[in-house]
Each structure stands twice: as structure tokens, then as C-alpha cells.
Amino acid sequence: MAKEVGKDRFGDFYIDGGKVRKRREWRGVADTLYDYSRWLGIMMTLGKFVMKPRNVKAMFRYRWMANYLAVPMMVDRHTQGLRGEYLRICHEEQDLVINDVAQLLDNLFRGDRRIGNDTEFSKKVVLVDENEMTAVMMGFPTLKCLSRETPSTYVSVLLNQHAAEHYIDVAQEFGLAGDVCPMPEAEAGVSIDDDAPVLGACAIQCNTTCDGSLLGNGVISRRLELEDGIPVFQLAAPLRHREDDVQEYAAQEIRNAIAFIEKHTGETWDWKAYFECARRVNYATRCRQEWLEMNRTPYPQVFGSNLALYTETNYMAICGRIPAFERADRRISKLAQQAYAKKKMAAKEYRHRAIIWGVQSHYYMDFLVWLLNCWGIVPLTDMLSMVSTRELVEEDTPENRETAIYDMAWLTENMIMRNRTHGGYKVLLDELWEFTEQFNADMVILWEHMSCKALTGMHGMFEERARELGVNLVWVTHDLFDPRIISRQGVRDQINNYMRTVMREEPLDPSLEVLHDEESW
Amino acid sequence: MNKLLKLLGKLLLILLGFFVVTFTVYIFNLDMKLTAMIEPFLLRHYDRIERDRHL
């Protein structure tokens, strides 16, 4: 039980083969009371959620809802070892995301034909993919932009590592290939298993990242259109997103998507609302750049899962539409500046500065916290946080309205993941080494998502370039949503082996090196 | 005055009781230990639900 950073043996909190941990951390009086107060806040959010009978009904209808029992534990995983400003930044983000997901669930069940069946509300709902920029919804303030895949698969795997296994198996039982990305496969599995809420005036699907994603969308849209009578628009954003000659086509796709939403909801595009959202997107971008600027110095402040999880949510799912995220950006920046001024550190020792690249394992997102606590490796930034920094036009003029269409197209083309896994050699490979230099990193940890064809082809090129530059390159193979293929310990072992055999180092916290958490949430 | 003091005393006792109980739940992770016990029952329930499973 320690107040000081790095004094605890975090491995001692785990129960061998157990689902949950023995107890919560003692972080000193002030930080423990702070963490306790935020835990109470989370319990209140969950309490308010289950007060509504329709949400309880949904809990007993949808298998993936069981994962939400693990919400407080997800927060505990990401706050492991954090003190002071780092702890507060983490809670600012996590608690807000929890609140946002609770609202998303509440809205889904309100309109769901099986649960709340509020038909008037449902007419104002536009369904979107989980892995999709919500830029085309920035000018529809009276509509609800809801994703069914976010709570059923994406968030579920963050809560419980085994969450997607059932749905992956269902999809494969019905003959879907076993070697596609488990994320779209699980999303398709939810649809096949008749476990997705049914609501909405229409839906927008995007050719997000890969072949698996297209496969999953096909299965889902078939059910939506042919059985549920919900029309679906396929927003096909160009993959060569850095090329000038594709931008006009991309802009036309945005115009078409907006027209489709207007047609099926009866609403009209609101430029005032759009430009207000654009201003908030720009503010979020400036904050993110400020945090990344700090991470280039010896005293990084917003990094690891504090950077990764929040950026994914704020950039892609929120896209300036929810003012609470702007307030959170402001508070996070203030906390980061305070900690930076005091030259604070999140662990007792920073041994290596790492760029995390590739598509991360969702069942092990707290890997970034583990890297820091176990080996003193600072995850300065990750591939999915290195998204567009282009400033959007904010002033409502006739010329800017035309530019804004191109801005939305740019955001959609440059959504998280696809902006790096597609778009050519430069965005995936060359820019990694530019970031390595800019961040003064001596290590690159390369997630190798074994079902992602977009990255596997470049394995040799990454190795060749790392050798030339003298950067320590550590491959970490995983199967994104399926820990039965490579377990959390399987992930950790790849780092442990590299650190012991190549770097010849001993861990900062040896109790974290081997954890029997295969049954854990 | 006495009544007010008594009321304040009671309020403080209630708050203290609330703190002791909830802090014990928090620090010993009892909330998660309880929900971990609930999960298997829920999973069995989901298995029994009739579904229209198809592509």
C-alpha cells in the first residue's frame, strides 16, 4: 500500500485465474479519496441507467450487456499506478466516455423495437458504423447519431476481454471466414445472432478499413434493409486519401450522404450547427497537438491509454457534436500544463521512449499502462492517435460551405486507423520514422494484428528501416478481439522476451511480468 | 438549538455510515466481486433466449 509512484507491486493485486482483483489501490489519502469519489460517480451513472425499466429489460435481452457489469474494473485497469494529475486526466476522460456510452445505450433502447419502441424517437435516429467518422452528422443537431456496434462489440471488448468470442463463433458457424479481422466479424456475429437493437430512420455505413469491414457491413445491411426496412447508405470514401485527384469524388460522397439523411428523416442540413461543431473539432485538434508537443519533451503528460482511448472517442465518435468534450479538453490541458510545469512523471523511472504503431489489441488496451509500470517504457503516442491535424473552416460563408464539404470528406477519409492502414507507403511506414525522430523515441512497439492484411505485407520493410535507423523494434502479435488466439500473457511475453534477451534489462515491477489473468474481465 | 444539534449529529452519523460502507466496498473491490458472481447466471439466461439466427 503506497502513496509514492512505483512503490506498489501491482501483480499482487491479481488473483490467479480470477475474474477480478483482490482490492483497489491505496494511493495516499488525497488520491485515494479522489479515486473513491469518482468511483461513487460511476456507480451513480450506472445506478441512474438501471433505474429505467427499459434498460433492465435490455440487460436481460442482449448478451453483450453483461459486459457492462465490468465498467468500474475497466477504469481500475487504466488508472493502475496513476497519481495526481495523471489520475485526474484519466478520470476526466474515462468518466466522460462512460457517461456518453450510458446515454448511447439509453437512446438505443428507447428507440429499439424490442425494448422501448418509441417510434417517434426512432424516426430521428441515424445509425452509423462503429468505425466511422460521424462528420456527416455535424449539421443535423436535431437528429440522434447512434452506433449499435460501439456498445455491442467495441466497448464490450474494452470491458471484458472475452466479450466478442461468442459472436466470432456465431459468424464462423454461419460460414464466414475465420481469418478476417475479428472486429467486423464480431459485429456481423451480433447481427446474425439477432442481438442488435432495431431502430432508426436510416443508416450510414462506411467502407472503413478493410475487406473484413466490407464483409461485416454486407451482412448487417442485408438484415437492416431487407428485414427491418431501414434504408442504408454506403459511404465509400477513397482509400488513396492523400491524392488530390480523389478529393472531388470524396466530397460528392458526402453530399450524397447528407441528401440521403435529409430524404429519410425529413430534416435539413444546418450550417450554423455544422460550423459550431467544426470550431469544437479545431479546439480538440489544438489540444491534442499541445499534448503531443509535451510528449516530445522528457516530461510527457497525456500519453498511453489516456491519449489513445480518448482520441478515438473524441475525434471519431464525437466529432465536435457534444460540448462536454470541449470542456474536458480544456480541463485535461490545464492538468497536463500543471504537471508539466512541475516536471512530474507517471512512473518512478522512464527507461525507454516508445512509439506504439499498428492496430492495437482491444482485449488488452491497458497494455500501455503495463508497459510503463512493468518495464518503464513510455508509450509517447500511438498510430491511432496520429490523426488529421488539418484546421476546418469555421466561418459561415458561401465559399466556406463548399470548403466544409471537402473538410468532412477529408475527416471521413482520415478516420482513425484507415488514415494509416490505407493511403500508401508514406502514411504507414515513412511517417512512423518521422514521428520516431520528432518524439526522440528509441523504441517502436509494433502491434501485429494477425488478421489485418493491410499491415502484414509491410513486415519486412519495417524491420529493414528500423535496422538502418538503429531503433529497437518490438513486434507484438495479437488477434485484436480474440484472446483465445493470443492471450494477454502471450502479448506480455513478447515484450518480456525482448526486454530480457535483447535489452538485457530487469523489470521495474517484476510482479507484473507474468500474470494469470486469462479468466479475468 | 438542541434539536438542531441532534439533527446535525444524526446527519453526520448517516454520512459517516455511508462513507464507511461504500469505502469498504470500494477498497476491497466488493462491487466487482459481486458482479463477477452474477455474470454466469446472466450468460445462462442469454443461452435460453429464442433467437432468429440467420445470415
Provide the b/e sequence for A322-357 (b: ≥16 CB within 10 Å).
beebbebbeebbebbeebbeeebbbbeebbbbbbbb
Is residue A128 classed as helix, strand or coil in its secondary structure?
strand
For cell 452474477, the residue is: B38
Of the two residues A203 and A419, the one the predictor is more confident about is A203
* Alpha carbon distance A218, A227 (integer Å): 14
**Cβ–Cβ below 8 Å for B51 and A195:** yes
**Burial grade of A51 (CB within 10 A; 0-12, 13-18, 19 or more):** exposed
Q: Is the pLDDT of residue A106 over 70?
A: yes
Residue of chain A nearest B54, judged by CA positions: A192
Is A490 exposed, middle or buried (CB count within 10 Å of its CB: 0-12, 13-18, 19+)? middle
A window 338-397, beta carbon within 8 A of B: none
Query: What are the boundaries of each domain within chain A?
Result: 10-512
> Which pLDDT value is given to residue B6?
92
pLDDT for A272-330, tens place per residue? Answer: 999 999 999 999 999 999 999 999 999 999 999 999 999 989 999 999 999 999 999 99
- The 10s digit of each residue's pLDDT in A468-510 is 999 999 999 999 999 999 999 999 999 999 999 999 999 999 9
Residues of A in contact with B36 (CB under 8 A): 19-20, 69, 521
CB contact (8 A) between residue A69 and residue B55 = no
Nearest neighbour of B29 by CB, restricted to A22, A40, A194 = A22
Q: DSSP for A150-189, please give it.
A: IIIIIHHHHH-TTTTHHHHHHHHHTT--TTS-HHHHHHHH
Q: Which residue has the higher pLDDT, A6 or A227?
A: A227
Q: Are strands A443-449 and A472-478 parallel, antiparallel or unpaired?
A: parallel
Task: Tell me if ipTM is over 0.90.
Answer: yes
Q: Chain B residue with minimal CA distance to A73?
A: B32
Query: For A347-351, what is the mean pLDDT?
Result: 94
Of B23, B32, B43, the CB nearest to A73: B32
- pLDDT > 90: percent of chain A: 87
- The pLDDT of A382-387, averaged and rounded, is 94
pLDDT of residue A209 exceeding 80, the answer is no
Whole-number average pLDDT of chain A:
94
Residue A499 burial class via C-beta count within 10 angstroms: exposed 0-12, middle 13-18, buried 19 and up: buried
Residue A423: per-residue pLDDT: 86
CA proximity to A231, closest of A223, A239, A243: A223
Chain B residues touching residue A192 (CB < 8 angstroms): 53-55
What is the model's pTM?
0.95
Return the pLDDT at A248: 96
Q: Among candidates A204, A256, A199, A206, which has minimal Cα distance to A228? A: A199
Contacts of A97 (CB under 8 A, 6+ apart): A309, A310, A313
Mean pLDDT for A48-70 is 97
pLDDT at A456: 74
**A66 at interface of B, judged by CB pairs closer than 8 A:** yes
3-state secondary structure of A125: strand
Residue among A36, A61, A69 whose CB faces B26 most closely:
A36
> DSSP of A23-78, one letter per residue?
-PPP--HHHHHHHHHHHHHHHHHHHHHHHSHHHHHHHHH-GGGGGGGGHHHHHHHH
